[in-house]
Structures are given as C-alpha cells and as structure tokens.
Structure 1
Amino acid sequence: MLVSRLLDWGVETVFGLPGDGINGVMEGLRRHADRIRFVLVHHEEAAAFMATAYAKATGRLGVCLATSGPGGIHLANGLYDAKLDHQPVLAITGMQETSVLGTGYQQEVHLDRFFSDVSVYNEMVVNPAQLPGLVDIAIRTAYARRGVAHLTVPNDIQVAEAGQQPYEAVAPARPPATAPISLPPQVRPRDEDLRAAARLLDDGGRTAILAGIGARGAGRLVEQLAEVLGAPVIKTLSGKMVLADDSPYTTGGLGLLGTAPSEDLVEDIDTLVMLGTNFPYTKHLPQPGKVQTVQVEIEPVRVGVRMPTQLPLVGDVAATLEALLPMLHRRTDRTHLERYQAKMRDWRAKMAALESPRRDPIAPQYLASLLDDLATDDAVLTCDSGTIATWAARHWTIRGNREFYLSGNLATMAPGLPYAIAIQHAYPDRQVIAFQGDGGFAMLMAEFHTACRYRLPIKVVINNNNSLGQILWEQMVLGYPEHGIRFGEPQADYAAWARGCGALGVQVDKADALGPALREALAHPGPALVDVAVDPNEPPMPGKVTYEQAKEFGRAFLRGQPNKVAIATTLFKDRIQRLRRA
C-alpha cells in the first residue's frame, strides 16, 4: 500500500539502504520493482543527499529510506540540507514493533521525535488504515511548505493487512483515494502591491538586484528588469545558474566566495531588489536603513528576515516580474550599470590571470578553469563545501544549459558525490561532474562504488590538497597557528580506489598532464575519477580583503605558521600572474 501510494504521486526513485527495520517496505519495493527504482547506497547519509539533489534538479519529490535506529539517524545531515535549502523530500524510516515501544528495546530510537526539528510533517503510523491518508498529507506538506516530511512505520504495521483497523470489530469501508494535486501552483502579488513597487523603483536611484535560486528559470525576465532599471545583478551561490556568467548585467557572487565588484556594489546603492533569495550572510548586505528594499519571495514568513523590506511582493519570481515589468519606466542614465560592467571586466581579467598552466604545483584555479573549458554546455556540476566551492564559484561558468548544485545554507561537506549520482539518475543523458575536495570525497567515497554498480557515467574530479583547506585559512584569519588540518602521509590513492571499483582512475600531479587526463575522463563511457594534486598553499581569498582579515592573517604567520614560506611564495606568484595579465 505504501509503495502503491508513492507510485500514485509519480515517485519513480527511492534512495536507501535495507535493514531489518524496513523489511516490509523492501518487500513492497520488490513487488513493484517494474515501476519504481530502488537505488542501493552504502550509507544512509548519502541516500538523504541523493533525495535532496533529486528534488533540487527535477523539482519533484525526493524520497529516501532507512532502517530503524542508527539507520534513521544517519539520514539527518542530508535531511537538514533539504530543510535549509527548502527542498521537498520524504524520508521513510522503520521502527520497532509497537508492542515493545517504550521498553528500551534494541535500537529503539523514536525517530519521530528525533526528526521533529528537521521536518515540516512528521508522523508515526500506528494503524494500517492511517497509511494512505498520511502518505498523501506528508507529500502535500513537503511540496507546499518546501521541506522534509517524515513517516516512520513500525515493523508490525509494515506487514499488517492493508486497511486493517485492529481496534474496531468491523473495519469501515475505506474512502476512495484523493487524486494528487497539481504542483506547484503559480502565485503573483496583488496589483496594488505591484504598482507600489513600480513607483518605488521608478523613484529609486542607484539600484542593484540580488537574485537567488528562487529566480531559477526566470533569467530572461531578470535581465529585462536589469535593463529597465540600469541595475547590476548579484547572484547568490545557490542562484549561480539564474544568469549566464558572461551576462552584461551580472557582477557575480557576494560574500567570501563572491567578487570585489559585488562587494563594492552593495555599498554604492540606495535601492535593492531581492528576487527569490533569503541570503543569510547579512554582513555582506547593505546596512539596514541605508536602502529601500523590494523583495519577491514565495514564502511570506521569509520576507524581511535579512533586510528591512519596504515593499514585500509575495509570489513566484517569474509571475511577479511578468506583471511588474510593464509598470516600470526605463532609466536613460546608464552610468551606474556601466561602472560595474567595467569593474567586472577587470575582475574577470584578474581571475583569468590566476588560471595559469605554468605554475607548479598545479593551481586549483587552473584545474577549475580547464574543467570549465572542457565540459559540455549542458553539464551539471555538483560541489562540496570548502575551498572547492571558491574555485567553482569563480572559475566554473554558467553558459548554455549548465547547472550547478551544492549544499547552500547548511554548507556541509560530502554531498558532491551523492548529488552527482542522484542527478545522473534523473538525467541519464547529461554530463554530470562531481567537483570535490579530498576531504569531502573521503567522507562518502564508498558511493563511487554505487555509481559503478549502476553504471552511471558520472565524472569525479578531486581537487586534492591533502588537507582541510578551508579550515586552514579560517584558522589563519582568526589568528590561530595551523593545527589539525593536514592529513599527512601516506596520502590516499583515490585513483586506485576508482580502478578497484572497475572505473577509470587517473592521478595527476603535473599541469601538462591535466588536460589529457580530463579529456580522457570526460570521454570515458562509464564512471571516471581524476585525482589532481594541487597547491595546498593556495589561499581562497575573499573578493575584498578587510583590514582585520589581513591583520590576523599576518599575526598567524608571526605566531608560527609552519608553511609561511610556501604560502608567501604562492601569494607572490598570484600577484605576478595578475600583473602579467594587466
């Protein structure tokens, strides 16, 4: 009954790991194997990441399955990723038999209580007659509230007769199934709110647009708004794919992984338009009270959370802009926009200068840029958190139908590989690349075997600095000497692991070998992994370095930074490369 109900909702794929706490559910999946695909993983955390990525990439419900106790606990990290990035995911877990609950039975973890914070809907099935209705409500809630729904089903309920009501002598007739609702509905603001927003924007001066993942699919309309207002467009990292990176309107990202022009822009405006974003890093936004803000947001609760908002517009970005644009008057003064177009030309030249193939060890910027050059125009790049996100943000360009996914607000390590596996399942004909650091890959590297087992042609490119690079630089900026971040010897051979799984595995430590290795991997018909030894002393510098950051960076050197000579040399090389390009 459970699996049939999932099929009624159009669920085609379930990611999970079996266990004796979900034997009944696994039997349901076996009986319907011709209509629903069960993807066997090595770790439940990966299953939750896969469900999240599936939802991000397709807009459809992602479903993950775990056994009772520790199996369900393992889902938590991936489910928080879905929660914080507002993705519809259904988690199904097992539970001990109802007759032993409350007795401290083996692996008795009340997962409905455990998941109370992560979920928008969370129930334990205690009566077989509940099941169809609870599945419907769980899925509707996951879609409507853009979050995690959780159902936990005790063992004895899983194998009970469908529709059984054990507490009634005669079970009443079951009501007919309710058809799944069409999702998602399109929402637009009220006309009076749109007219008020148009008046504010027409009267505004120097304007910027901040576009997030909620503006996905509305890129053409965002560019039209930028043209009318003469306003540069900042993209959040999760919203990187909203506009092409060579768009004449964008100044790229904002924050530690962003660009200097975007940092300058937020200090140089009196009007801000926020489109489909709840950008959390408020210290990178304009000071409250300095700007007038128009925010387009589908979820009313999120309006004004980051910035005081004079005109909240509750609605879809596309529907809102289609209604708003005809109400606006085009600005004839293009000085503001042209100033930041010039700044972006300078920024792009500086980034290109760091992509030198002549550096030894290999510059991570060169690895990212070469991957960018060789990948197809409809490639999907998945990424981990850490320094790898900096290189992807700045050197992986959105063009054509490219997409880009990472853990946004949770910013967890490890999802890059599970994301790639799920998205390749969803889009078997697209090129899918996991761009990972060695730290993130190592956490869930067993899932590369999953990709091989399902013959998924994913490509994994490891930016291997043999360390937790982001932590290293954070320690230095905070003024601490380096501690606990370098893995040392012996170094793991991830290419050998790939070959052991039956895939293509290549190890690279020289820049002149990098191009041939990436071309071979991208052309390989099956899964492939390229493990690239990059310069471990390359700093992921912010777009603009503050005085305090520079001061603490210097103090860390003076307090015994063990690699200060190598780091100083790398920084000097970066400066020389920029001067050469200039």
Structure 2
Amino acid sequence: MNEPRRDDIPGWGRGAAWTDPGAPSVGRTLATSLAELGVERAFGVLGGGIAPFAAGLAASPIRFLHTRHEAGAVFAAIEAHFATGRPALAVVTTGPGLFNALGGVMAARADGARLLLVSGATARTLVGRGAVQETSAHHLPGGLGQAGAMFHAAWQPESVDELPAIVSALAQGWGRPGGFVAHLALPLTLQTQLVGPDTQLTPPRWHQALPEPDPRVLDLVLDRLGGRAVVWVGHGARAAGPELATFVRAAQLPVLTTPRAKGVFPERDPLHLGVSGTGSSAGVDSFLAARPLDGALVLGTRLGEVSSLLSPRVVPRAGWVHVDLDPTAFAAAFPGTAGLGVVADCGRFLAALHVRATATGWYRRAHHPPMLLEAEPTAPSPRPDGDVGPAYLMHVVQELVVDGSNAVVMSEAGNAFSWCNHALRFASPGRYRTSAAWGSMGHFSAGAIGAAAAADRPVVAVVGDGAMLMNNEINTAVAYGLRVVWIVLNDAQLGLNQHGMTALGMTPVETQLPRTDFATFARCQGAIGLTVEREPELAPALAQALALPGPVVVDVRIDPTVPAPIVADRIRGLLAQGGGR
C-alpha cells in the first residue's frame, strides 16, 4: 500500500478566502475586538472544531500559547488574569475539549476571574446527524450553553450579525466590578465566514460607577467597631491595601486576613493578627477563643470554610458589618446571623470611613483593648539527616523566595496551601495566589505558566506530588522559556488524605503513591530538575533554581509523617458536618 503524498491530494495547501492572514475572518476580527477589550494572551488546545478561529487568532495582536491539556489552559488563563488584571482567553475544541476545560471554568467563577472560553460547536444544520464530537445545546448539560452557576453569559451565534451584541455584552461584563466568566461557542460554519465592512465589532467602552458611601451608614459602621473588634480582609479587598492601612492604624484595630488576601495588609505589622481559616496560626485561634468579638468589619470575603472554618465562635455579638460588591456575600456562610451589609468598593469605602472617623472625632473616642501578639517563630537549623521537614521548607521559601526575590508564590490545594497559608508572610498584595472555595488539585501546577507568561517576573509554585502527577504544564513552560520553579512536596502519598483519615480513626484508602523522580521527569522534557533529599541541600538548590532563566523542578523529599496545619481544623469541620463528636 502506497502512502499518500500531499501533492497528490486535491486542494492541499490551497486555502479559502478566510485563510488569508489579512482577510477579515471571524476569528481575526473577533480576536482584534478582544484585544481592544484588554486581552493580551490566550491559552488553549486546538482541534479541528476550532482551527479556523485559531488561524484568525494567530493573525491578531493576541499572543496564543498552546498548552498540553485544556484544564491547564484555563488555569493558566486564570492566573494570567490575576497577574495583570486583564481579561484572559481560553480556546478549546468541541466535545472532549470543552468538557476537559470545565474544572478550570468553575475555578475561574469561584475565584472571580475575568475569562472568556471560546470553544468549537456543531452547526445547527448538522445537529443529530452524527457529526464528530457533536457539541450543541441538544447534547450538552444546560449550564454549558446558558447563563447560570458556571457562566455569567453564554452564546452560540450562527451568523456574523450576532457578534456585535456579544462583543458589547463582554465589554459590559468586563467593565463592571468583580469577575465575569463567559462562554462563546463558535460553529465551523461561522468561523469560516468573513466580516463585511458594515459590521462593526469595535467594543463599546463601559465603566460602571458606584455611589459614594452614605454618611449615615458610615456612622453606623463606626458605632459597631468599638470594644473587641477586628477588620477581616478578603480577596475582594486586594486593591484596598493603602486605604486599609490608613484606617486600621489610625483606629488601632487588629486585622485578620483570609488565605487569598495574604499581603493586602503587611503580615509582620503589629496590628496583623494572622491568617484565618485553613492553616490559621495559633495566635488567631487563641484570639478568637478568648472571648467573643464585639464587632467585625468584613471586607471582600464570603467567609466560607477556607476563610472561617464556618466556626460559630467568629460571629460578633453586635452582628457583622459586611462590605462587598456582591450583596449575596452578606452572611452567606453564617445564615441566620444579623448584620449590616454595604454594597461598595472596599477601597472607596475605607477612604470614606477614614474621612468620617476623622471629622467626627471617632478616632479619639474609640478604645480597642491591646492584643496578645504572636512571636515570630525562631529560625530553625537544618537537620543533617532524614527527610526535609515541611516547616523547614517554609522557612527557606520565606527567606529566599518571599523576602529574597520578587517572585509570585502559588500554593496548590492540599498540604501545600495549608503550609503556605500558615507559615509564609507577605508584605504586599499580588505576591501570593492560592485557590479557596474550588480548590482544584492541578490548578497551580499548571496555572503557574499563565502568570509567568503574562507578568515579567518569576513564579514559584509550591505543589504536592499528587497534584503534579494530576496536571502540569512543564512541557509548555519549556516550549516558551517561562520562568517557573515548581517546588514539589514529594512524600509519595496523598498526604492530606493520609493524615486526615488517620486522625478521624479511619484506615487510609489507597493514599500511597509510587515514588516519582520529578527531577528526571523535568529533565526528560527539557527543563532543569533538581533533587533535595536532606535539609542542608535545600537552600543551595532553591537559590540555584531562582537564578536559572527557564523552568525548574525542585523535587523535595518531604517527611511523610508530619501532618499539615489544616488537619486539626479540617477534622473539626468534618466532625461537625457529619454529626461526630
């Protein structure tokens, strides 16, 4: 049997009019509109169902990076957004391509990202006829093709005339405060069309203004912040650091931060109590256990389980004062509790609160009892023998990465984010990323490449071996020369499951993993791989990794017997949910 030659195939290499790089194809025109809305980078996995759009995308101002899995593409897009504040684009094909992206989409929605997922779709004329990877409203769950819990908006246009309204809706969605996640499903019949001169896809400019805080509301808030009160800061207040510092320092109010808000207020400031929720410090637990709070000003957080452990002891006696752009956040985690909800931007609200407190003399009258501050932990010395202790690893990461570089630190769901939340201290926002409500393993082992591609700074991802086996984009990082350092907590087990089940009196079920040589795994893909087996080897290896220009995997043999700080808190929560003691 003779193999076919390309020259023998009729039409090979002869493109239609829409394939010309200068042609006003739907892909090129739409991508140019997205660039005008602020999109700079796209991540995705291509296939036949999305190829014409991708060809147009390549001829646009947007830089496209091809990942190795659709989930990695969406996670990378999320982190590109949070690294720059710009909306991001993920591109996938039909059927499996779309479904593989859905875990990332849910993470984007939970984290409040601005993201557009563009997927291929089956034209209506082919629905029900057995098209390959048929993808239509008739074959998909309703949430994929309409607005709901997954997407703020979703469209499947069939004609060019529908595109201006879609671009306008995107402009409004991305122009409003908060996150906006959308899905645009493009059938091939539309992707291969040309956009005529009468169709304008120039996005309209939208900015949604919020009203200034009412002085009467400001007075009510100040009245509730006397006595034993705290300011509890969440991810939604990440841009309000200067206003927060001005107010709490003038008021001498202590500050709690949720894990995703680390660095919004300097964590070594005397007024910083610590991180709440998952991985919280002993000082925070002692403060909350001593006696009930009189008041709490909650800024930009829903106070879900990762932020509050859903503990009833955090509910203030005077009720919540809750400031958020989303009114559904008010008391969402603590139904039945009273409070005052204020729909406002946290920074503008704090600025107005400071002006009001100054003008009314509230700062002079307010009295807040002194706090018992937690002492800085003593710097540990490296043990000459045995596996690396996770506390010592955190000490070295603090010294070399957090304090000694400008790298963004990311922590993966599981033991990694519990240790990082608990032990690392940041002085400014934008240096730390972790997931909260969704907590997908593989988010940051893959998503780190998005931040590295979008921001001109290195990224250090602290991940577990289970997550690294589940999803990683080392090969993609090599392809694009991205400055990512993966620190793999290699304990040859699913550590959080192992310790959690043991603590609950259960026999761990299939938590052990074959030991993986992640350094060799990295090297076989073209990255640098370093192995750390003892604590004295850790600092030199990490310093070397930070000095290298491309992707590096640091395989750290972690002591498997040490449970993460999350275990005790998580056990209490599971027992409460399951009716245990």
The answer, yes or no, to whether TM exceeds 0.5 is yes
For residues 402 and 179 of structure 1, do their structure 2 counterparts lie closer, same or farther at Cα, with a shift above 3 Å needed? closer
2:407 to 379, 388, 400: 379
Offset at residue 325 of structure 1 (A): 1.3
2:195 to 139, 146, 162: 162
Q: 1:441 — aligned with what?
A: 468
Q: 1:569 — aligned with what?
A: none
- Distance of 2:155 and 2:95 partners within structure 1: 16
Q: Secondary structure at the match of 2:49?
A: helix
Q: Secondary structure at the match of 1:529?
A: strand
Q: 1:13 — aligned with what?
A: 41
* Amino acid in the other structure paired with 1:179: P
Structure 1 unaligned residues grouped into runs of 5+:
165-172, 553-582
How do 1:103-118 and structure 2 match up within 5 A? 103-110=129-136, 113-115=142-144, 116=146, 117-118=149-150
For residues 456 and 177 of structure 1, do their structure 2 counterparts lie closer, same or farther at Cα, with a shift above 3 Å needed? closer
- Per mean C-alpha deviation after superposition, the further-off stretch among 541-550 and 379-388 is 541-550
- Residue 146 (1) aligns with residue 146 (2): no
Q: Secondary structure at the match of 1:119?
A: coil
Percent identity of paired positions between Structure 1 and Structure 2: 26
Offset at residue 197 of structure 1 (A): 1.5
How do 1:232-311 and structure 2 match up within 5 A? 232-267=254-289, 268=291, 269-281=293-305, 283-284=310-311, 286=313, 290-307=317-334, 308-311=337-340
**Contact 1:187–1:319, Cα closer than 8 Å, also in 2:** no
**Contact 1:189–1:320, Cα closer than 8 Å, also in 2:** yes
Q: 1:193 — aligned with what?
A: 217
How do 1:329-478 and structure 2 match up within 5 A? 329-330=362-363, 336=369, 338-341=370-373, 344-345=374-375, 348-349=376-377, 352=378, 356-358=382-384, 360-375=386-401, 376-399=404-427, 403-428=431-456, 430-445=457-472, 447-478=473-504
For residues 471 and 88 of structure 1, do their structure 2 counterparts lie closer, same or farther at Cα, with a shift above 3 Å needed? same
Offset at residue 302 of structure 1 (A): 2.0
- Residue 120 (1) aligns with residue 152 (2): yes
Structure 2 unaligned residues grouped into runs of 5+:
1-28, 577-581
**Contact 2:91–2:119, Cα closer than 8 Å, also in 1:** yes
- Per mean C-alpha deviation after superposition, the further-off stretch among 431-440 and 392-401 is 392-401
* Amino acid in the other structure paired with 1:493: D
For residues 285 and 104 of structure 1, do their structure 2 counterparts lie closer, same or farther at Cα, with a shift above 3 Å needed? farther
* Amino acid in the other structure paired with 1:19: G
* Amino acid in the other structure paired with 1:535: D
Offset at residue 431 of structure 1 (A): 2.4
- Distance of 1:355 and 1:499 partners within structure 2: 31
Q: 2:31 — aligned with what?
A: 3
Offset at residue 50 of structure 1 (A): 1.1
- Residue 211 (1) aligns with residue 238 (2): no
Offset at residue 356 of structure 1 (A): 5.0
Q: Secondary structure at the match of 1:92?
A: strand
For residues 364 and 309 of structure 1, do their structure 2 counterparts lie closer, same or farther at Cα, with a shift above 3 Å needed? same
**Contact 2:76–2:449, Cα closer than 8 Å, also in 1:** yes
Q: 2:205 — aligned with what?
A: 180
Q: 1:571 — aligned with what?
A: none
Q: Secondary structure at the match of 2:56?
A: helix
Q: 2:104 — aligned with what?
A: 78
1:25-73 per-position Cα deviation (integer Å, ceiling 9, x unaligned): 01101222xx220011000001111111122222211110100100011
Q: 1:500 — aligned with what?
A: 524
1:485-538 per-position Cα deviation (integer Å, ceiling 9, x unaligned): 1103xx221111211222211111111111111111111122111101010111
Q: 1:319 — aligned with what?
A: 348
Q: Secondary structure at the match of 1:495?
A: helix
Q: Secondary structure at the match of 1:42?
A: coil
Q: Secondary structure at the match of 1:296?
A: strand
**Contact 1:266–1:285, Cα closer than 8 Å, also in 2:** no
- Distance of 1:16 and 1:547 partners within structure 2: 38
- Distance of 2:42 and 2:575 partners within structure 1: 50
The alignment's TM-score, normalised by the length of structure 1, stands at: 0.85
- Distance of 1:112 and 1:235 partners within structure 2: 37
- Distance of 2:371 and 2:382 partners within structure 1: 28
Offset at residue 393 of structure 1 (A): 1.1
- Distance of 1:123 and 1:233 partners within structure 2: 43
Q: How many residues align?
A: 528
- The CA RMSD measured in Å over matched residues stands at 2.6
- Residue 24 (1) aligns with residue 57 (2): no
- Distance of 1:316 and 1:549 partners within structure 2: 31
Structure 1 runs (4+) deviating above 6 angstroms are 332-335, 543-552
- Distance of 2:356 and 2:30 partners within structure 1: 49
Q: Secondary structure at the match of 1:340?
A: coil
**Contact 2:73–2:447, Cα closer than 8 Å, also in 1:** no
1:529-576 per-position Cα deviation (integer Å, ceiling 9, x unaligned): 110101011111349769969999xxxxxxxxxxxxxxxxxxxxxxxx
**Contact 1:13–1:38, Cα closer than 8 Å, also in 2:** yes
How do 1:58-69 and structure 2 match up within 5 A? 58-69=84-95
Q: Secondary structure at the match of 1:505?
A: strand
- Distance of 2:265 and 2:414 partners within structure 1: 23
Q: Secondary structure at the match of 1:234?
A: strand
Q: 1:519 — aligned with what?
A: 543
* Amino acid in the other structure paired with 2:296: L
